[in-house]
A and B are shown apart, each in its own frame.
Chain A
Amino acid sequence: AAPLEKKNQRKTYIVHMAKSEMPASFLHHTHWYDSSLKSVSDSAQMLYTYDNVIHGFSTQLTNEEAQQLESQAGILAVLPELRYELH
């Protein structure tokens, strides 16, 4: 069971989107982000959407879902969450 658990373990990713490549069928970029996310996971929720610092969102995905998402058109990068520390 352990490898299966690991395979399905969700981690937080920050997804960078190419906003200028948003298909015209979407009225708002958040709808496009949501549609992209739903195409790889029915259950994943967005933690945050970003527009000033990046175009994209953060969410929790399995490793496989992250790879699927990264291969889609309009996705620039799917980067794993990093932990920072106080100095």
Chain B
Amino acid sequence: TTRTPEFLGLSKAADLFPESDSASEVIVGVLDTGVWPESKSFADTGLGPIPSGWKGACESGTNFNSSNCNRKLIGARYFAKGYEATLGPIDETKESKSPRDDDGHGSHTASTAAGSVVEGASLFGYAEGTARGMATRARVAIYKVCWMGGCFSSDILAAMEKAVDDNVNVLSMSLGGGMSDYYRDSVAIGAFAAMEKGMLVSCSAGNAGPGPYSLSNVAPWITTVGAGTLDRDFPAYVRLGNGRNYSGVSLYKGSPLPGKVLPFVYAGNASNATNGNLCMMGTLIPEKVAGKIVLCDRGMNARVQKGAVVKAAGGVGMILANTAANGEELVADAHLLPATAVGQKSGDAIKGYFLSNPNPTVTILFEGTKVGIEPSPVVAAFSSRGPNSITPEILKPDLIAPGVNILAGWSGAVGPTGLVTDTRRVEFNIISGTSMSCPHVSGLAALLKAAHPDWSPAAIRSALMTTAYTEYKNKEKMQDIATGKASTPFDHGAGHVDPVSALNPGLVYDLTVEDYLGFLCALNYTEFQIRSLARRNFSCDASKKYSVTDLNYPSFSVNFDSITDGSSLVKYTRTLTNVGSPGTYKASITQQTPGVKISIQPGTLSFSQANEKKSYTVTFTGSSQPSNTFSFARLEWSDGKYTVGSPIAISWT
């Protein structure tokens, strides 16, 4: 990616991270649509021999053989038996029955996590710079599990089975599905086994935001990643015939519009379809749009497809207006015709112009790439939000990372829009989603693994979470683009990842397999369910009191019953492990709203040696509040040198 290394502080802190032997021993496995091995992001220049513990393979298939792997791309497998059993044989004229990526998504995520350094990267000149993955020296292993018809759980499970066998260190999975209980969810099941083997599993939180309870991949042994913006934008202004300008974004590159305003029409007025405003396939009347710029509303079909529909009907340009579902979030696309995306407010104002003007005109002014946009990051509207619908006592997402307008490697088999009609081919593409934020965290986890080979997956996640930030440099709270207001832990989890701070977190909240088994007991899982999930005979101790609130998680999610009269009291126990220098840490709470009293016992913890563990208890005393009341706070332990932060989300349901 370009810009994210600078945005995350990696460029300036390069000397803090191991760049040689230990970093190149780490293997990042990516379950996705495969890989385009010819991408410069997978060049192996300067990398030494493949790690001795590697047991993977480079499988052959359509347009792919073992010579496509190298010292960067050390493994590539594909899993299609489940897919073919349901949907029939793969049509090899349409997609490669091999690890080759015909979609682009897999090459994008893999290169984001661990792509090599590529100078002069850009998409049509947009986002130009030196592209690199987060862990440039880590090795990449590709497990293709997603096909044109989707990603099937039997294939995902088979890929995770192999990734465990192959000795992958970090598993990056930018996919999800539904909200199944953990023992029914193949990703959660596979991730449990991976965690047992010391692999960190990083998953995307989902793009079902900004509504609440929209998360996927919420198992506590998974690192769940939401998405935020960068400080980069691609402005393309709308200039109406009345001289008014509105901000938009675009990645269009091609024949420019004539340097004058053009006739302008609202798609809803150029269609006989009830949903004509959405520019769905075949709904525009060519006579009404020919030679005009068309305003389409966002929703239902792909954004880039709307542009293709306008173009096919003879339109010369498109303005894509957000509706309430997306608010002011602007996602840039490499449209096939001159086009820009505007927020809901601008869209409404432009629609008002149609009403007041019988002969509306407009043009679009493309401004290229701008950096230094503030505030940034802001939580992306699409990023899925808590509370956690499976286990409300575990706060998810865990954290956010860059996921909007991310440039990374792409497939040579498909154009940047992914449309069949897009015959353009690019080395890099700019796309958005929690799919893009997840591999950022996967790559950063690989860097931490290289720096601290003995840390467990939970310790690595803890370091990433407790050092994440929720305020800008000016001390203003991080914003949510969906509301324009301060984001909450249900939106950003512990905050935005800060890899430089995560390298030395001071203290970590560690977790073992036994802790997670106790968590399953606390969920009242049956013996069968535990055996299904954890592949072992494990009986919960009937004499022991298990509590979900005692899972040593780096964040707090507290639930009070709104029906209960008077005050309620809940206790959470946590244990901190010293991974820094000796120090005395003091607890502090920042509380945003009343309604709950939070006390920490003890309020001071002293650590005199490495790996020393100290426990504390947090007591939450809540007053009676109406249902669906939420309150947020933050607990910090600090010795003046290190600050170990935990978000707190309190719900009355």
Contacts and interface: CB of A to CB of B under 8 A. Distances in A.
A53 B150 CA distance: 21
A53 B154 CA distance: 11
Contacts of B174: 86-87
B33 A83 contact: no
B206 interface: yes
Interface stretch (B155-163, B285-293, B324-332): B155-163
Contact of A14 (B186, B193, B207, B528): B186
Nearest to A47: B81
Interface string B203-228: 01111000000000000000000000
The 9 closest A-B pairs by CB, nearest first: A84-B177, A58-B154, A87-B204, A87-B435, A52-B164, A84-B151, A47-B81, A53-B193, A16-B532
Interface in B173-223: 174-178, 180, 183-187, 189-190, 192-194, 197, 204-207
A87 B81 CA distance: 22
Contacts of B82: 12, 47-48, 58, 81
Interface string A1-35: 00000000001101010111000000000000000
A77 B156 contact: no
B638 to A, nearest CB: 35
A12 B151 contact: no
A14 B161 CA distance: 14
B582 to A, nearest CB: 40
Contacts of A84: 146, 150-153, 156, 175-177, 186-187
B244 interface: no
Contacts of A48: 79, 81-82, 154, 157-158, 161
B12 interface: no
Among B157, B189, B205, the one with the most A-chain Cβ atoms within 10 Å of its Cβ is B157
Interface of A: 11-12, 14, 16, 18-20, 47-48, 50-55, 58, 60, 76-77, 79, 81-87
Contacts of A20: 537
B160 A47 contact: no
A19 B531 CA distance: 10
- Chain A, interface SS category: strand
Contacts of B194: 53
B150 A83 contact: yes
Given A53-B164, A85-B175, 12 more contacts: A18-B531, A20-B537, A47-B154, A50-B158, A54-B157, A54-B193, A76-B532, A79-B184, A82-B152, A82-B178, A82-B185, A86-B175
Contacts of A16: 531-532
Contacts of A50: 157-158, 161
Contacts of A47: 81-82, 85, 154, 158
Nearest to B153: A82
B178 to A, nearest CB: 7
28 contacts: A12-B86, A14-B154, A14-B186, A16-B531, A18-B531, A47-B82, A48-B154, A52-B193, A53-B160, A53-B194, A54-B535, A58-B154, A60-B85, A76-B528, A77-B528, A77-B529, A81-B86, A81-B152, A82-B177, A82-B186, A83-B177, A84-B151, A84-B152, A84-B177, A85-B150, A86-B433, A87-B174, A87-B204
B362 to A, nearest CB: 34
B175 A53 contact: no
Interface of B: 32-33, 79, 81-82, 85-86, 105, 146, 150-154, 156-158, 160-161, 164-165, 174-178, 180, 183-187, 189-190, 192-194, 197, 204-207, 433-435, 438, 528-529, 531-532, 535, 537
B253 to A, nearest CB: 25
A20 B538 CA distance: 12
A20 B539 CA distance: 14
Contacts of A85: 150-151, 175-177
A87 B176 contact: yes
Contacts of A55: 535
B493 to A, nearest CB: 16
A85 B174 CA distance: 9
B83 to A, nearest CB: 9
Contacts of B185: 82
Given A84-B177, A87-B176, A54 B152 contact: no
A24 B161 CA distance: 26
A86 B146 contact: yes
A77 B183 contact: yes
A83 B535 contact: no
Contacts of B435: 86-87
Contacts of B434: 87
Among A14, A53, A85, A87, the one with the most B-chain Cβ atoms within 10 Å of its Cβ is A87
Contacts of B183: 77
B206 to A, nearest CB: 6
A50 B156 CA distance: 11
A73 to B, nearest CB: 12
Given A76-B532, A85-B177, A53 B157 contact: yes
Contact of A54 (B189, B205, B528): B189
Nearest to B178: A82
Contact of B105 (A53, A76, A81, A86): A86
B192 to A, nearest CB: 8
A86 B193 contact: no
A86 B33 contact: yes
Nearest to A60: B85
A83 B177 CA distance: 7
Nearest to B193: A53
Nearest to B528: A76
A87 B529 CA distance: 28
Contacts of A86: 32-33, 105, 146, 151, 174-175, 433, 435
Given A12-B86, A53-B164, A55-B535, A83 B528 contact: no
A47 B84 CA distance: 10
A82 B190 CA distance: 14
B168 to A, nearest CB: 11
A87 B161 contact: no
